[in-house]
A and B are shown apart, each in its own frame.
Chain A
Amino acid sequence: MAEKKAKRPVLIYSLTGIFLLILCVAVSVAVLIVPYEKCKTYLNIVFMDQSMKITPSAGLDGLVIKENEIPTEPIPVSTENPENSGDSDIVQTYYDQGEIIRPSFGEQYAILNCDEISLSVPVYWGSSPELLELGACQASSSVVLGETGNVVIDAHVNTFFADLSEIQPGATVTLFTTYGIFTYQVTEQVRFENTNKKYVLPTETDRLTLYTCEAQVLGTSSTRIGILCDLVSKQFYNPLQDGESS
């Protein structure tokens, strides 16, 4: 009996501690839930990179550059000719509508060719100083080749687009991708200020816009020079799958 009596205060003291903790936690949660809900969106934006958690290395800032093998010649496809058994013909089939492979940021997804100025340059999806060192860059705000709209590509004037201003209306520009060939014809040469977004905004018709800085002796130029091209042909390697729309 005496032992029971002695144990009682210990139990009360222990339960009081647990009760106080539960009470304080409950009050804290009740008080903080409203401010947390209000801040949640901002917190999710500021600390959204929970899945990647890359500690950025100086220079690349987490950028992953991916190179691809892109054919610039027709892909040979071997098909058996049923009429001449034993012989095989090389037939390349193209489709007007086809499967588009969306690139990721930093991925090389096209090769731009223009015979008029002997230009052949890799095109990367997205734009950053590192990618501009490697080739031309397509703004990720423009449409992917094959989709209807404005395809906007730029490069440095001191490197890949040094002779861009020499391309005359009527010249042909071809873009090779892993999923098709897209041919454009130059229609116009343009000159605009970097604050003028007229030529880089989305369009409802198929257009290719290539631009670079205006060459200057020294320093940066606020003037841009470019060419506008109309789509001549789309040649997809693979047809659209059932249920897909171009």
Chain B
Amino acid sequence: MKNNHIKLYPLKVLLAFVFVFCLLGTELLLSVKHIALNPATFETVTETQQLDEKAYTTLESYFRSRANSTGIPAEVFLNPITKEQLRQGTLDSVSDALAYLKHTSDSYEFRMDFKELETSITEFFENYAEENHFQKDEIYQQKITSTIAEAEKEILFIADTFKFSTIHENGWLEKARHYIPALDRFIMIALGLTILTGVLLILICLKNIREFLYWFGISGMTSGILLTAPCEYLKAIDYISGFIIKDPQIFAAVVGYLNTMLNHELLQGILTIAAGLLLLILFAVLSKKIKN
């Protein structure tokens, strides 16, 4: 009986070792699917980091500075643009990018409604031309077109706080798109392996059934520590705040998003440790009861 127990010990350690990584992999893959690629996560970051406020301030600073070289007052561009429009623009950019990534849309193109902006710029040019007897020739039309195009380009650039357009232009969104359908398969494989190793551990411990609580307990704790320790380290040194892009809205969006992910992984790790600890306590209590 005792010999059998010793013989099975290395196998139990091996199964526990596999179980740790299967559990860790399942947790991480589920986080990618349900947290990292969830529009609600981006929405939360947009709200908590006040991205619309920051984007509007950047836009204001840009058009006020441009007024020096263009002679067009910043209000011509700023009056038709609201913070709500910028917030909606940010969220639309996220939902469009996620739809493209998840194959529910065939292309990614970030657009905003600029009808009011176009009217405002055209009206300004019209009034200016009338007041100064400016000839409305081809050059005049070109000026209006180029001013509208430049303004729209800048607003789209600033409203796309999570920079999905830049990611798309560099081809990274398309690369990621290839791997997203495989995510569900990977989750199923990792989950299947976790269940399989768990069942095997239970089967091996059948002769001393309460022992599986111990193996699940230490596996859970180890898995939790492997997840918590690096997250805690990154949080302690505030590594993410070293992000190099200092444009207020981009910095807040990227750092806010990464911190949300980090906090989530930290919580997941702590909960796994707690679950493992609970199983170990249960095992100790049951062992003591049987002895008594």
Q: Which residues of A contact B (CB under 8 A)?
A: 6, 13, 16-17, 19-21, 23-25, 27-28, 45-50, 53-59, 61-62, 129-130, 132-133, 156-159, 213, 216-220
Contact = CB atoms under 8 A, between A and B. Distances in A.
Nearest to B276: A17
Nearest to A28: B226
Given A55-B251, A159-B68, A216-B71, A20 B17 contact: yes
Contacts of A17: 218, 221-222
Given A17-B218, A61-B248, A129-B61, 17 more contacts: A17-B221, A17-B222, A20-B20, A21-B221, A21-B222, A23-B13, A24-B17, A24-B222, A24-B223, A24-B226, A58-B61, A129-B62, A132-B68, A133-B65, A217-B71, A217-B134, A218-B71
Interface of B: 13, 16-17, 20-21, 54, 57-58, 61-62, 65-66, 68-72, 125, 128, 132, 134, 143, 146-147, 150, 214, 218-219, 221-223, 225-226, 237-244, 246-248, 251, 291
Contacts of A216: 70-71
Contacts of B17: 20, 23-24, 27
Contacts, number: 112
A162 to B, nearest CB: 11
B68 A158 contact: yes
Contact of B65 (A16, A62, A132): A132
Contacts of B54: 58
B247 to A, nearest CB: 6
Contact of B241 (A6, A27, A53, A219): A53
B57 A61 contact: no
A217 B125 CA distance: 11
Contact of B239 (A20, A50, A132): A50
